Protein backbone atom coordinates (compact mmCIF):
# COMPACT_ATOMS: atom_id res chain seq x y z
CA UNK A 1 0.00 0.00 0.00
CA UNK A 2 2.86 2.30 0.87
CA UNK A 3 4.51 1.46 -2.45
CA UNK A 4 1.27 2.29 -4.27
CA UNK A 5 0.99 5.63 -2.45
CA UNK A 6 4.60 6.53 -3.17
CA UNK A 7 4.16 5.56 -6.82
CA UNK A 8 1.12 7.87 -7.01
CA UNK A 9 3.30 10.65 -5.64
CA UNK A 10 5.83 10.05 -8.41
CA UNK A 11 8.50 8.49 -6.19
CA UNK A 12 10.97 6.81 -8.59
CA UNK A 13 10.99 3.01 -8.44
CA UNK A 14 8.38 3.00 -5.68
CA UNK A 15 6.57 0.11 -7.29
CA UNK A 16 9.60 -2.18 -7.60
CA UNK A 17 9.12 -5.89 -6.93
CA UNK A 18 10.22 -7.22 -3.56
CA UNK A 19 10.58 -10.46 -1.65
CA UNK A 20 9.15 -11.00 1.81
CA UNK A 21 11.16 -13.47 3.85
CA UNK A 22 9.53 -15.02 6.88
CA UNK A 23 12.47 -16.03 9.05
CA UNK A 24 10.08 -17.81 11.40
CA UNK A 25 9.48 -20.33 8.69
CA UNK A 26 13.22 -21.11 8.50
CA UNK A 27 13.28 -21.47 12.28
CA UNK A 28 10.24 -23.75 12.18
CA UNK A 29 11.82 -25.96 9.53
CA UNK A 30 14.85 -26.39 11.76
CA UNK A 31 12.67 -27.44 14.70
CA UNK A 32 10.89 -29.87 12.37
CA UNK A 33 14.22 -31.27 11.19
CA UNK A 34 15.43 -31.89 14.75
CA UNK A 35 12.16 -33.62 15.60
CA UNK A 36 12.18 -35.96 12.61
CA UNK A 37 15.87 -36.54 12.02
CA UNK A 38 17.55 -35.96 15.39
CA UNK A 39 20.49 -38.15 14.42
CA UNK A 40 21.32 -36.20 11.27
CA UNK A 41 23.17 -32.87 11.35
CA UNK A 42 21.91 -30.49 8.65
CA UNK A 43 24.60 -28.65 6.66
CA UNK A 44 22.53 -25.99 4.88
CA UNK A 45 23.29 -25.86 1.13
CA UNK A 46 24.27 -22.21 0.73
CA UNK A 47 23.83 -22.33 -3.07
CA UNK A 48 20.09 -22.59 -2.63
CA UNK A 49 19.74 -19.13 -1.13
CA UNK A 50 22.74 -17.34 0.41
CA UNK A 51 20.55 -14.70 2.05
CA UNK A 52 22.59 -13.10 4.88
CA UNK A 53 19.79 -13.33 7.45
CA UNK A 54 19.09 -16.97 6.62
CA UNK A 55 22.79 -17.74 7.08
CA UNK A 56 22.95 -15.80 10.35
CA UNK A 57 19.86 -17.51 11.71
CA UNK A 58 21.00 -21.00 10.74
CA UNK A 59 24.50 -20.41 12.07
CA UNK A 60 22.96 -19.39 15.40
CA UNK A 61 20.75 -22.45 15.40
CA UNK A 62 23.87 -24.57 15.01
CA UNK A 63 23.62 -25.98 11.49
CA UNK A 64 26.67 -26.65 9.38
CA UNK A 65 27.03 -25.35 5.83
CA UNK A 66 27.47 -27.03 2.46
CA UNK A 67 29.55 -24.73 0.25
CA UNK A 68 30.37 -25.19 -3.40
CA UNK A 69 32.94 -22.43 -3.92
CA UNK A 70 35.41 -20.12 -2.23
CA UNK A 71 32.84 -17.37 -2.39
CA UNK A 72 30.36 -19.39 -0.36
CA UNK A 73 33.04 -20.51 2.11
CA UNK A 74 34.12 -16.90 2.61
CA UNK A 75 30.55 -15.75 3.07
CA UNK A 76 29.91 -18.37 5.76
CA UNK A 77 33.20 -17.88 7.60
CA UNK A 78 32.83 -14.11 7.51
CA UNK A 79 29.76 -14.46 9.72
CA UNK A 80 32.42 -14.76 12.38
CA UNK A 81 30.70 -17.49 14.37
CA UNK A 82 31.10 -20.57 12.18
CA UNK A 83 34.08 -22.79 12.84
CA UNK A 84 35.56 -24.19 9.58
CA UNK A 85 34.78 -27.68 10.90
CA UNK A 86 31.11 -26.79 10.36
CA UNK A 87 31.69 -26.43 6.62
CA UNK A 88 31.76 -29.14 3.96
CA UNK A 89 33.15 -28.22 0.55
CA UNK A 90 30.61 -30.38 -1.26
CA UNK A 91 31.64 -29.81 -4.85
CA UNK A 92 33.34 -32.93 -6.23
CA UNK A 93 35.10 -30.98 -9.01
CA UNK A 94 36.97 -27.98 -7.59
CA UNK A 95 39.57 -25.61 -8.99
CA UNK A 96 43.01 -26.30 -7.48
CA UNK A 97 43.18 -22.72 -6.25
CA UNK A 98 39.88 -23.22 -4.42
CA UNK A 99 41.20 -26.37 -2.72
CA UNK A 100 44.34 -24.49 -1.68
CA UNK A 101 42.24 -21.64 -0.33
CA UNK A 102 40.01 -23.99 1.63
CA UNK A 103 43.14 -25.52 3.20
CA UNK A 104 44.18 -22.02 4.30
CA UNK A 105 40.72 -21.35 5.67
CA UNK A 106 40.80 -24.58 7.67
CA UNK A 107 37.98 -26.23 5.74
CA UNK A 108 39.02 -29.87 5.61
CA UNK A 109 35.87 -31.80 4.71
CA UNK A 110 35.41 -32.09 0.96
CA UNK A 111 33.86 -34.44 -1.55
CA UNK A 112 35.42 -36.09 -4.61
CA UNK A 113 34.24 -38.51 -7.29
CA UNK A 114 37.21 -38.87 -9.64
CA UNK A 115 40.93 -39.61 -9.65
CA UNK A 116 42.08 -36.22 -10.94
CA UNK A 117 40.49 -34.59 -7.92
CA UNK A 118 42.51 -36.87 -5.65
CA UNK A 119 45.79 -35.79 -7.29
CA UNK A 120 44.86 -32.12 -6.88
CA UNK A 121 43.90 -32.58 -3.25
CA UNK A 122 47.03 -34.62 -2.48
CA UNK A 123 49.11 -31.76 -3.88
CA UNK A 124 47.53 -28.76 -2.17
CA UNK A 125 45.51 -30.07 0.79
CA UNK A 126 46.95 -33.43 1.85
CA UNK A 127 45.33 -33.14 5.29
CA UNK A 128 41.80 -32.97 3.84
CA UNK A 129 39.04 -35.20 5.21
CA UNK A 130 37.60 -36.72 2.08
CA UNK A 131 34.14 -38.00 1.33
CA UNK A 132 33.54 -40.06 -1.77
CA UNK A 133 30.38 -38.98 -3.58
CA UNK A 134 28.65 -41.96 -5.10
CA UNK A 135 26.15 -42.04 -7.93
CA UNK A 136 22.60 -42.93 -6.96
CA UNK A 137 19.29 -43.16 -8.77
CA UNK A 138 18.13 -39.56 -9.31
CA UNK A 139 15.36 -40.33 -11.78
CA UNK A 140 12.70 -39.34 -9.23
CA UNK A 141 13.91 -35.75 -8.91
CA UNK A 142 13.21 -32.39 -10.55
CA UNK A 143 16.91 -31.63 -11.00
CA UNK A 144 19.03 -34.66 -11.75
CA UNK A 145 22.59 -34.20 -10.61
CA UNK A 146 23.92 -37.65 -11.54
CA UNK A 147 24.54 -36.49 -15.08
CA UNK A 148 27.41 -34.43 -13.74
CA UNK A 149 28.49 -35.86 -10.39
CA UNK A 150 28.83 -39.10 -8.49
CA UNK A 151 31.12 -42.11 -8.87
CA UNK A 152 29.34 -45.27 -10.03
CA UNK A 153 29.77 -48.00 -7.41
CA UNK A 154 31.92 -50.08 -9.77
CA UNK A 155 34.54 -47.35 -9.83
CA UNK A 156 34.60 -46.78 -6.07
CA UNK A 157 37.11 -49.54 -5.11
CA UNK A 158 39.62 -48.16 -7.66
CA UNK A 159 39.11 -44.58 -6.43
CA UNK A 160 39.57 -45.57 -2.81
CA UNK A 161 42.69 -47.61 -3.65
CA UNK A 162 44.12 -44.54 -5.38
CA UNK A 163 43.28 -42.36 -2.36
CA UNK A 164 45.05 -44.87 -0.09
CA UNK A 165 48.07 -44.90 -2.37
CA UNK A 166 48.19 -41.08 -2.18
CA UNK A 167 48.01 -41.29 1.61
CA UNK A 168 44.73 -39.42 1.72
CA UNK A 169 42.23 -39.65 4.55
CA UNK A 170 38.83 -40.71 3.23
CA UNK A 171 36.35 -40.49 6.10
CA UNK A 172 33.07 -41.40 4.48
CA UNK A 173 30.50 -41.48 1.73
CA UNK A 174 28.03 -38.95 0.33
CA UNK A 175 25.28 -38.96 -2.27
CA UNK A 176 22.59 -36.66 -3.63
CA UNK A 177 19.31 -38.17 -4.80
CA UNK A 178 18.68 -35.07 -6.94
CA UNK A 179 17.13 -31.76 -6.01
CA UNK A 180 13.37 -31.72 -5.59
CA UNK A 181 13.12 -35.45 -4.99
CA UNK A 182 9.50 -36.63 -5.29
CA UNK A 183 10.02 -40.27 -4.32
CA UNK A 184 11.20 -40.71 -0.73
CA UNK A 185 12.27 -44.28 -1.50
CA UNK A 186 15.21 -42.91 -3.47
CA UNK A 187 16.86 -42.28 -0.09
CA UNK A 188 16.49 -45.91 0.92
CA UNK A 189 18.15 -47.14 -2.24
CA UNK A 190 20.92 -44.56 -1.88
CA UNK A 191 21.62 -45.53 1.74
CA UNK A 192 21.85 -49.15 0.64
CA UNK A 193 24.45 -48.14 -1.97
CA UNK A 194 26.30 -46.08 0.63
CA UNK A 195 26.50 -49.22 2.80
CA UNK A 196 28.16 -50.99 -0.12
CA UNK A 197 30.65 -48.14 -0.48
CA UNK A 198 31.40 -48.34 3.26
CA UNK A 199 32.20 -52.04 2.77
CA UNK A 200 34.45 -51.17 -0.18
CA UNK A 201 36.27 -48.72 2.07
CA UNK A 202 36.89 -51.45 4.61
CA UNK A 203 38.34 -53.67 1.89
CA UNK A 204 41.05 -51.09 1.14
CA UNK A 205 41.80 -50.36 4.78
CA UNK A 206 39.57 -47.38 5.59
CA UNK A 207 37.23 -47.24 8.54
CA UNK A 208 34.60 -44.72 7.45
CA UNK A 209 32.89 -42.66 10.14
CA UNK A 210 30.77 -40.24 8.10
CA UNK A 211 27.64 -40.68 6.03
CA UNK A 212 26.34 -37.65 4.13
CA UNK A 213 22.79 -38.17 2.83
CA UNK A 214 22.91 -34.99 0.70
CA UNK A 215 19.99 -32.75 -0.24
CA UNK A 216 16.76 -33.30 -2.11
CA UNK A 217 14.39 -32.85 0.87
CA UNK A 218 10.98 -31.46 0.02
CA UNK A 219 8.68 -29.62 2.38
CA UNK A 220 5.52 -31.62 1.66
CA UNK A 221 7.15 -35.06 1.81
CA UNK A 222 9.56 -34.37 4.65
CA UNK A 223 7.92 -36.60 7.27
CA UNK A 224 7.65 -39.49 4.79
CA UNK A 225 11.26 -39.03 3.66
CA UNK A 226 12.46 -38.88 7.26
CA UNK A 227 10.68 -42.12 8.02
CA UNK A 228 12.24 -43.82 4.97
CA UNK A 229 15.68 -42.60 6.04
CA UNK A 230 15.29 -43.75 9.65
CA UNK A 231 14.19 -47.20 8.47
CA UNK A 232 17.04 -47.47 5.95
CA UNK A 233 19.59 -46.45 8.59
CA UNK A 234 18.29 -49.18 10.91
CA UNK A 235 18.57 -51.70 8.11
CA UNK A 236 21.93 -50.79 6.58
CA UNK A 237 23.71 -49.06 9.47
CA UNK A 238 22.31 -50.78 12.56
CA UNK A 239 25.43 -49.99 14.56
CA UNK A 240 25.80 -46.20 14.46
CA UNK A 241 27.85 -45.61 17.57
CA UNK A 242 30.85 -44.33 15.65
CA UNK A 243 28.96 -42.95 12.73
CA UNK A 244 28.39 -39.23 12.15
CA UNK A 245 25.50 -38.59 9.79
CA UNK A 246 25.07 -35.26 8.04
CA UNK A 247 22.80 -33.95 5.26
CA UNK A 248 22.87 -31.00 2.86
CA UNK A 249 19.31 -29.65 2.73
CA UNK A 250 18.75 -26.45 0.76
CA UNK A 251 15.24 -26.09 -0.63
CA UNK A 252 13.68 -27.60 2.49
CA UNK A 253 14.76 -24.66 4.65
CA UNK A 254 13.92 -21.72 2.44
CA UNK A 255 11.54 -22.49 -0.43
CA UNK A 256 8.36 -21.52 1.39
CA UNK A 257 10.00 -18.86 3.53
CA UNK A 258 10.13 -16.33 0.68
CA UNK A 259 7.28 -14.79 -1.33
CA UNK A 260 7.58 -12.27 -4.11
CA UNK A 261 5.34 -9.28 -4.74
CA UNK A 262 5.50 -7.82 -8.25
CA UNK A 263 3.78 -4.81 -9.73
CA UNK A 264 1.89 -4.85 -13.00
CA UNK A 265 3.82 -2.29 -15.01
CA UNK A 266 2.13 -2.79 -18.37
CA UNK A 267 -0.75 -4.59 -20.01
CA UNK A 268 -1.61 -5.54 -23.55
CA UNK A 269 -5.22 -6.32 -24.18
CA UNK A 270 -6.99 -6.62 -27.52
CA UNK A 271 -9.62 -3.89 -27.98
CA UNK A 272 -12.39 -6.46 -27.46
CA UNK A 273 -11.07 -7.19 -23.96
CA UNK A 274 -11.19 -3.58 -22.83
CA UNK A 275 -14.11 -3.38 -20.46
CA UNK A 276 -15.77 -6.49 -21.85
CA UNK A 277 -16.89 -9.39 -19.70
CA UNK A 278 -15.00 -12.64 -20.40
CA UNK A 279 -17.80 -14.46 -22.18
CA UNK A 280 -17.96 -11.64 -24.74
CA UNK A 281 -14.34 -12.18 -25.70
CA UNK A 282 -13.50 -14.57 -28.45
CA UNK A 283 -11.38 -17.61 -27.65
CA UNK A 284 -11.66 -20.42 -25.13
CA UNK A 285 -10.97 -20.08 -21.41
CA UNK A 286 -7.47 -21.52 -21.82
CA UNK A 287 -6.25 -19.05 -24.45
CA UNK A 288 -4.89 -15.91 -22.85
CA UNK A 289 -6.52 -12.75 -24.10
CA UNK A 290 -4.64 -10.31 -21.90
CA UNK A 291 -0.90 -10.01 -21.40
CA UNK A 292 0.33 -8.59 -18.09
CA UNK A 293 3.92 -7.37 -17.69
CA UNK A 294 5.38 -7.41 -14.18
CA UNK A 295 8.65 -6.01 -12.86
CA UNK A 296 10.51 -9.24 -12.17
CA UNK A 297 10.97 -12.03 -14.65
CA UNK A 298 12.89 -15.00 -15.95
CA UNK A 299 16.17 -13.08 -15.93
CA UNK A 300 15.52 -12.26 -12.27
CA UNK A 301 13.71 -14.23 -9.57
CA UNK A 302 11.87 -16.38 -12.10
CA UNK A 303 15.08 -17.93 -13.41
CA UNK A 304 13.72 -20.85 -11.37
CA UNK A 305 11.44 -21.58 -14.34
CA UNK A 306 14.45 -22.31 -16.53
CA UNK A 307 16.96 -23.65 -14.04
CA UNK A 308 14.77 -25.27 -11.42
CA UNK A 309 11.84 -26.55 -13.49
CA UNK A 310 9.31 -24.54 -11.49
CA UNK A 311 5.90 -23.30 -12.65
CA UNK A 312 5.10 -20.32 -10.40
CA UNK A 313 1.44 -19.33 -10.15
CA UNK A 314 0.44 -15.79 -9.21
CA UNK A 315 -2.39 -14.64 -7.00
CA UNK A 316 -3.74 -11.12 -6.83
CA UNK A 317 -2.23 -9.23 -3.93
CA UNK A 318 -4.02 -5.95 -4.52
CA UNK A 319 -6.68 -4.85 -6.92
CA UNK A 320 -7.51 -1.25 -7.52
CA UNK A 321 -5.69 -0.17 -4.36
CA UNK A 322 -7.32 -2.74 -2.07
CA UNK A 323 -6.14 -6.03 -0.60
CA UNK A 324 -9.71 -7.24 -0.85
CA UNK A 325 -10.24 -9.04 -4.12
CA UNK A 326 -13.99 -9.64 -4.53
CA UNK A 327 -14.73 -13.18 -5.65
CA UNK A 328 -17.52 -11.79 -7.84
CA UNK A 329 -15.04 -10.33 -10.33
CA UNK A 330 -14.96 -12.68 -13.33
CA UNK A 331 -11.66 -14.29 -14.22
CA UNK A 332 -10.02 -14.09 -17.59
CA UNK A 333 -7.35 -16.31 -19.16
CA UNK A 334 -4.20 -14.21 -19.05
CA UNK A 335 -0.46 -14.54 -19.49
CA UNK A 336 2.20 -12.95 -17.28
CA UNK A 337 5.50 -11.66 -18.60
CA UNK A 338 8.71 -10.29 -17.13
CA UNK A 339 9.97 -6.76 -17.81
CA UNK A 340 12.87 -7.40 -20.23
CA UNK A 341 12.83 -7.08 -24.00
CA UNK A 342 13.22 -10.82 -24.50
CA UNK A 343 10.24 -13.01 -25.39
CA UNK A 344 11.66 -15.93 -23.41
CA UNK A 345 10.83 -13.78 -20.40
CA UNK A 346 7.44 -15.39 -19.79
CA UNK A 347 6.48 -16.06 -16.17
CA UNK A 348 3.16 -17.76 -16.78
CA UNK A 349 1.84 -18.83 -20.17
CA UNK A 350 -1.73 -19.06 -18.94
CA UNK A 351 -3.41 -18.25 -15.66
CA UNK A 352 -6.81 -16.90 -14.69
CA UNK A 353 -6.84 -13.38 -13.32
CA UNK A 354 -9.63 -10.90 -12.52
CA UNK A 355 -10.91 -9.13 -15.60
CA UNK A 356 -10.53 -5.78 -13.83
CA UNK A 357 -6.80 -6.25 -13.11
CA UNK A 358 -4.93 -3.16 -14.26
CA UNK A 359 -1.53 -1.53 -14.46
CA UNK A 360 -0.50 -0.57 -10.91
CA UNK A 361 -2.11 -3.63 -9.28
CA UNK A 362 0.07 -6.20 -7.58
CA UNK A 363 0.57 -9.94 -8.05
CA UNK A 364 2.25 -12.21 -5.55
CA UNK A 365 3.98 -15.56 -5.82
CA UNK A 366 4.59 -17.99 -2.96
CA UNK A 367 7.33 -20.56 -2.63
CA UNK A 368 10.03 -18.29 -4.05
CA UNK A 369 12.93 -18.93 -1.66
CA UNK A 370 14.87 -21.70 -3.36
CA UNK A 371 17.12 -21.21 -6.39
CA UNK A 372 15.66 -17.77 -7.22
CA UNK A 373 17.63 -14.78 -5.86
CA UNK A 374 20.93 -16.68 -6.03
CA UNK A 375 20.83 -17.04 -9.82
CA UNK A 376 19.06 -13.80 -10.71
CA UNK A 377 20.80 -11.46 -13.17
CA UNK A 378 20.52 -7.76 -13.91
CA UNK A 379 19.90 -8.26 -17.62
CA UNK A 380 18.53 -5.17 -19.33
CA UNK A 381 19.38 -3.09 -16.27
CA UNK A 382 16.67 -4.55 -14.05
CA UNK A 383 17.93 -4.93 -10.51
CA UNK A 384 17.55 -8.08 -8.45
CA UNK A 385 14.49 -7.65 -6.23
CA UNK A 386 15.31 -6.78 -2.62
CA UNK A 387 14.21 -8.70 0.44
CA UNK A 388 12.06 -7.42 3.30
CA UNK A 389 12.15 -9.56 6.44
CA UNK A 390 9.48 -10.55 8.91
CA UNK A 391 9.90 -12.68 12.00
CA UNK A 392 6.29 -13.89 12.20
CA UNK A 393 5.08 -16.54 14.58
CA UNK A 394 8.42 -17.33 16.22
CA UNK A 395 9.57 -13.72 16.38
CA UNK A 396 11.01 -14.00 19.88
CA UNK A 397 13.12 -17.06 19.05
CA UNK A 398 14.29 -15.59 15.75
CA UNK A 399 15.27 -12.28 17.32
CA UNK A 400 17.09 -14.10 20.12
CA UNK A 401 19.00 -16.17 17.55
CA UNK A 402 19.97 -13.05 15.58
CA UNK A 403 21.01 -11.09 18.66
CA UNK A 404 24.66 -12.10 18.29
CA UNK A 405 24.76 -10.22 14.98
CA UNK A 406 23.34 -6.93 16.23
CA UNK A 407 25.89 -4.27 15.29
Ligand X SMILES: Cc1ncc(COP(=O)(O)O)c(C=O)c1O
- Helix (H), strand (E), coil (C) string for 247-316: ECCCHHHHHHHEEEEEEEEEEECCHHHCCCCHHHCCCCCCCCCEEEEECCCCCCCCHHHHHCCCCCCEEE
Site for ligand X in 218-277 (CB under 6 A): 248-252
Q: Of 172 and 180, which has the nearer Cβ to ligand X?
A: 180
Q: Of 179 and 188, which has the nearer Cβ to ligand X?
A: 179
* Residue from the set 118, 145, 260, 281 that interacts with ligand X by CB under 6 A: 145
Contact between 146 and ligand X by CB under 6 A: the answer reads no
How many residues are recorded in the chain? 407
Residues in contact with ligand X, shown as a per-residue x/- string from 19 to 58 under the rule CB under 6 A: --------------------------x-xx----------
Contact between 345 and ligand X by CB under 6 A: the answer reads no
Mapped onto helix, strand or coil, the DSSP state of residue 375 is: helix
Q: Which helix (H) or strand (E) element contains residue 337? A: strand 331-337
Site for ligand X in 68-127 (CB under 6 A): 90
Q: How far is the CB of 142 from ligand X (least distance, A)?
A: 8
Q: How far is the CB of 145 from ligand X (least distance, A)?
A: 6
Contact between 216 and ligand X by CB under 6 A: the answer reads yes
Q: Of 44 and 198, which has the nearer Cβ to ligand X?
A: 44
Angle between helices 23-36 and 52-61 (to 10 degrees): 30
**CB hemisphere CA count around 326 (13 angstroms):** 7
Q: Which is the catalytic residue, given 48, 93, 341, 348?
A: 341
Region binding ligand X by CB under 6 A among candidate stretches 151-159, 174-182, 195-203, 389-397: 174-182
Region binding ligand X by CB under 6 A among candidate stretches 16-24, 209-217, 309-317, 360-368: 209-217
Q: Of 107 and 294, which has the nearer Cβ to ligand X?
A: 107
What does the DSSP assignment read for 74-143?
HHHHTTSS--GGGEEE--SS--HHHHHHHHHHT--EEEE-SHHHHHHHHHH-TT-EEEEEBP---TTEEE
Q: Of 233 and 374, which has the nearer Cβ to ligand X?
A: 374
Q: Of 338 and 369, which has the nearer Cβ to ligand X?
A: 369
Q: How far is the CB of 38 from ligand X (least distance, A)?
A: 19
Q: Which helix (H) or strand (E) element contains residue 333? A: strand 331-337
- Whether 48 sits among the annotated catalytic residues: the reply is no
Instruction: List C-alpha distances in Å: 194 to 93, 183, 186, 397.
Output: 20, 18, 12, 37
Cβ atoms of 96 and 118 closer than 8 Å: no
- Catalytic residue numbers? 341
Binding site for ligand X (CB under 6 A): 45, 47-48, 66, 90, 145, 176, 179-180, 214-217, 248-252
Amino acid sequence: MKAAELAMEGEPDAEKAFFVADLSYVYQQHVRWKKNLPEIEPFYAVKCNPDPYVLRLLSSLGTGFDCASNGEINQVLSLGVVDPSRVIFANPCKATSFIRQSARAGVDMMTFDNTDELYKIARVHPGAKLIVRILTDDSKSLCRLGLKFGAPLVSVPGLLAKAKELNLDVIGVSFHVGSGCFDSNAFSDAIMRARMAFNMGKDVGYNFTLLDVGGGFEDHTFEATSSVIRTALEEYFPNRENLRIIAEPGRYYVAKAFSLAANIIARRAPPAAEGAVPQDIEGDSESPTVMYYINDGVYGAFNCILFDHQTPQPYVLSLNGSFHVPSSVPLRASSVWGPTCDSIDCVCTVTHLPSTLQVGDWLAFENMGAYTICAASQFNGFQVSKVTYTTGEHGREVREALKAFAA
